[in-house]
Amino acid sequence: MGGTPVLEMLDRVRGEVVTAQSPGYDDARRVYNAMIDRRPLAVVRAVDVADVRIAVTAAAEAGLDVAVRAGGHSVPGFGTVDDGIVIDLSRMKGIRIDPRARVAQVQTGCTWGDLDHAASSFGLATTGGIISTTGVAGLTLGGGIGYLARAHGLSCDNLRSADVVLADGTLVTASDDDHPDLYWALRGGGGNFGVVTSMEFDLHEVDTIYGGPMFFELDAAEDILRTYREWIADAPREMGAFPAFQIAPPLPFIPQERQGEPFVLLVSCFNGPDDVGAKLLRAFRDIADPVAEHVERMPYAGLNSAFDGLLPPGLQHYWKANFVEELTDAAIAAHVEHGPKVPALQSTMHLYPINGAVHDVASDATAFAYRHASFAPVIAGMWPDAASNADNIAWVRDYYEATAPHSEEGGYVNFMADDDRDRVRANYGGNYDRLVEIKRRYDPDNLFHLNQNLLPAAPQAPLRSQRPKEPSAHN
Ligand SMILES: Cc1cc2nc3c(=O)[nH]c(=O)nc-3n(C[C@H](O)[C@H](O)[C@H](O)COP(=O)(O)OP(=O)(O)OC[C@H]3O[C@@H](n4cnc5c(N)ncnc54)[C@H](O)[C@@H]3O)c2cc1C
């Protein structure tokens, strides 16, 4: 393998080591966001914990940057790096469901589709993202917002324990009993602390649900958002629902002549009886008749993958986000001005509710700090053609600037673009100092810095990738 010492160390990997000389290199280095185009020294497709330990140790000894990739959905492209080592976990797909204890043990190459599939065969699920191709690991480590959050908390609130390979190659289990500080930090603190190889989750009874998307004319947008604000504050926790702005895709339930037009949506997921769900949704039907809808009883896993086809890998992505404590009339006015200008079929604004069970957990009980916020909106720019980057990025930025004055300072780390890295302190609010202290203990050299990075050193050290490369003993 090339004669380079770091690659020689990787010879012991049981999975695959893909370098620029390998036939599948372009495929191996690609991430979900097509704007990201980086050339790693090697992509290690790990198949077990031993492979992860070898890769971490080799990269640390050689002084190389390490990118950790699970589902590959990071919008800033944290799952890849120029000239460094990518640890790609996507082949580690083991899942064990214990239906009696209602617990899932999940290897971190799994997507939400993998976990939904395994758990749904027992009528069980846990809070996960609304696109099933997103990685369980990256989403959970940043918090994890989805349809079930009002009933069962964030994904990270359902994380009982995690196996983690630390920067020195040791493997630890973090839970309430073992390494409790690390366990606290992993629940919202992102990929800052090590490579998580396995996660244990609480599961809940979620089989079929009543819900789906409703498309309303844009002139109803203000009423829909105002009604939603009051409605979601009191709705039963079994109701997960969010409003959105979206161009109607070419789907059979949407009249052909309206496809391609922007609408305001309500997307719902009610884990309860049809008649109760229907009665709850009447609040929106009373405002206007939907132009199109696909509300019915369906498997939870079906709803959780319903938008997958719209968002294949290879789109351009640029996202921005802030938490919102109170959705004021002024904030709604900003949404009503900018949402309808959505410029691409795939782009959207989703206004996720994070009340209910998310508020049952204290802000300092896990690293995810914004428990007092009621909403986590995301302005997600996604479009196919790089030639349209300027227009699409401008829509996201204009929309963001209009809503930011009505929002909290911090936003959800998993929705942050690359140009938001200076907001890490704000994103963690009152939990920031404790996180930095834990980072200092578990990753003092900041080996794991390709993330919304907590800098362990004071005064702040430059990122590894900004330091001149030191020749290591092996090179
Ligand atoms: C189409 C789409 C839909 C989304 N929907 C939702 C949603 O509904 N709810 C929500 O909360 N978020 C959502 N997100 C945001 C998502 O949570 C983040 O993009 C998340 O980082 C993706 O995780 P991943 O494993 O797929 O990505 P990756 O790019 O593989 O990982 C992102 C980062 O997470 C860290 N990481 C990942 N795995 C590990 C590991 N095993 N050990 C240590 N660190 C690790 C690393 O820092 C890594 O760089 C969505 C994103 C996209 C693109």
List the residue whose alpha carbon is closest to atom 5 of ligand 1.
Answer: 129
Q: Is the C-beta atom of 130 inside 6 A of ligand 1? A: yes
- Kindly state the helix (H) or strand (E) to which residue 427 belongs, with its residue range: helix 424-428
Of ligand 1's listed atoms, the one at least distance from the Cα of 111 is 26
| Cis before 377? omega within 30 | no
Helix, strand, coil share (%) of the chain residues, nearest 5: 35, 20, 45
CA 308 to chain centre: 14
pLDDT the model gives residue 468? 38
Q: Check residue 4 and give its pLDDT.
A: 60
Contacts of 408 (CB under 8 A, 6+ apart): 322, 323, 324, 325, 370, 373
Find the 226 Cα to ligand 1 centroid distance in Å: 31
Paired sense of beta strands 204-205 and 208-216, if any: unpaired
- Residue 456: the pLDDT is 84
Q: How far does CA 218 lie from the centroid of its chain? A: 28
Q: Which helix (H) or strand (E) holds 265?
A: strand 262-270
Write out the two tokens for 96: 């064990």
Q: Across the 475 residues of the chain, what is the mean pLDDT of every consecutive 10-residue run?
A: 74 97 97 97 98 98 97 97 98 98 98 98 98 98 98 98 98 98 98 98 97 98 98 98 98 97 98 98 98 98 95 97 97 98 98 98 98 97 97 97 96 93 92 97 97 77 41 32
The pLDDT score that the predictor gives to residue 461 is 44
Which atom number of ligand 1 is nearest to the Cα of residue 130?
8
Region for residue 358 given its phi and psi (left: phi exceeds 0; alpha: psi -120 to 50; beta: otherwise)? alpha
Identify the pLDDT of residue 458: 55
Distance from C-alpha of 421 to C-alpha of 169, rounded to nearest angstrom: 27
Give the separation between CA 377 and CA 404, rounded to whole angstroms.
11
Pairwise CA distance, residues 268 & 58, whole Å: 47
- Give ∠ CA 23-29-33 in degrees, rounded to 5: 140
How far does the centroid of ligand 1 lie from the alpha carbon of residue 80, in Å? 13
pLDDT value of residue 470: 35
* pLDDT at res. 462: 44
DSSP string, 335-351: HHHHGGG--SSS-EEEE
Q: Is 113 in the pocket of ligand 1 (CB under 6 A)?
A: no
pTM, entire model: 0.95
